[in-house]
Amino acid sequence: MSLSLLRVVGRRLLNAVPILVVTLAGGFWLIQLAPGDVYTEFALNPDIRPEDLERFRANFGLDQPWYVQFGRYLWNAARGDFGYSQTFKAPVFVLVQQRAANTLLLAVVSLLLAWGFSVPAGIAAAARQYRWQDQSIAVLAFFGLSIPNFFLASVLLYAISATGSWLPIGGMTSIDHDQLSTFGKAWDLAKHLVVPALVISTAITASLTRIMRANMLEVLGAQFITTARAKGLAERVVILKHALRNAVNPMITILGFTIGDILGGAALVEIVTGWPGLGKLILAAVLNQDPYLVSGSLIYGVILLMLGNLIADILLAVIDPRIRVT
């Protein structure tokens, strides 16, 4: 890695700090807009006295304004204390770390599926413009863009349960997962990944395919492509060697935003399919008004999004030497 690229990485990491702080502040402020707090439900229990609830709120600083709570949270987070979840009765860092790993696995597999289909499909559609290949890929793309993720997940789970398919209908692992061999555990995890990864990658694949097709058509009309064809190069060489390298650059540029789309779409899919990821955790945190759990989930989500954009910038500079990252 060159010195200039290292400077860019360092500068991006420094810029990430205020972005993270502003996002966390917004999360704290938004959760305060809802009436009550994490202890409101406990007030329905006749065995808990109101003065005990007030003491609990004072111990965790929930009786203070949101900006005071936020400042206290930042001070503790800087020392490695991300708070305690009253919903799950566990440290926030432990909860979020486990769920974030599950969501990251789902996001990476979905991203690989989306790119593995969209790049060759976009090339094929551009190379066979207005032919049956292009029309078929267009139909698939419009299908992926039009159908909601949660609806597609529900339909697939219903079809699996109705037909008695070998695929599981939810969760991340089987009941006997711990008793399986290493290969058996990997296969069990892969089977549970099929439905959520397929659903999430469907919408992403549709948009990426359209973008790749448009990029290829633009590049194929460029003058240097005409020159390459005039030299007598085979069409396959023109497309794969000359056109593809230029058409894929915009795809790498939007890689970071694609990761954000995947994380956003994963939330509903995780809830429908029972995948134990950040989506279900954030929903539980919001419904129970658990501010520390919401903040911990936001931290991981923002970090993953910023890392995705950073990786995209580095890949773009490595693949295309004409681009100088500044």
Using DSSP, how many helices (H) and how many strands (E) does the chain show?
14, 2
| Domain annotation covers residue 319 | no
Residue 128's pLDDT is what? 85
Give the pLDDT of the chain (326 residues) as one tens digit per residue.
566 667 767 777 777 778 888 887 887 777 777 776 666 666 666 777 777 777 777 776 677 777 787 888 788 777 777 777 877 878 888 888 878 888 888 888 988 898 888 889 988 888 888 888 888 888 888 888 788 887 888 888 888 888 877 788 878 888 888 888 888 888 988 888 988 988 888 878 888 888 889 888 888 888 888 888 888 888 888 888 888 878 887 787 777 777 767 776 677 888 888 888 887 788 778 777 777 788 877 787 777 777 777 777 777 767 666 655 44
* Residue 45: φ, ψ to 5°: -85, 115
pLDDT at 2: 62
The pLDDT value recorded for residue 36 is 67
Q: Tell me which residue of 279, 282, 300 sits closest to 291, measured CA to CA.
A: 282
The span from the CA of 125 to the CA of 212, in Å, is 9
Q: Is residue 138 part of a domain?
A: yes
Residue 243 CB partners (closer than 8 Å, separation 6+): 216, 219, 220, 225
* Judgement on whether residues 68 and 149 belong to the same structural domain of the protein: no
Does residue 40 belong to any structural domain of this protein? yes
Number of domains forming the structure of the chain: 2
d(CA 82, CA 77): 5
For residues 247 and 112, membership in a common domain is answered with yes
Query: In this predicted model, what pLDDT tens digit does every residue of 251-310 receive, in sequence order?
Result: 877 777 777 677 766 778 888 888 888 877 887 787 777 777 888 777 877 777 777 777
Domain assignment present for 221: yes
* Residue 180 near residue 284 (C-beta atoms within 8 A): no
* Residue 304: predicted pLDDT: 76
Whether residue 125 sits in one domain with residue 49? no
Sign, CA torsion 197/103/33/30 = negative
Residues with Cβ within 8 Å of residue 188, at least 6 apart in sequence: 173, 174, 177, 180
Query: Other C-beta atoms within 10 Å of 62: how many?
Result: 19
Quote the pLDDT of residue 325: 47
Question: Tell me: the pLDDT tens digits for 221-234?
Answer: 888 888 888 888 88
Assigned domain for 87 exists: no
Same domain, 144 and 246: yes
| Whole-number pLDDT of residue 1 | 52
Cα 192 from Cα 162, distance rounded (Å): 17
Dihedral, 193, 197, 199, 202 alpha carbons, nearest 10: -150
The verdict on 160 and 237 lying in the same domain is yes
pLDDT at residue 68, rounded to an integer: 80
pLDDT given for residue 41 in this prediction: 67
**What residue numbers bound the domain in which 161 lies?**
108-273
Q: Are strands 84-85 and 90-91 parallel, antiparallel or unpaired?
A: antiparallel
- Could you give the 3-state DSSP secondary structure of residue 173? coil
Global pTM? 0.78
In a domain, 289, yes or no: no
Do the domain assignments include residue 51? yes
| Cα–Cα nearest to 222, from 208, 206, 238, 236 | 238
Identify the CATH number of the domain in which residue 144 sits.
Answer: 1.10.3720.10
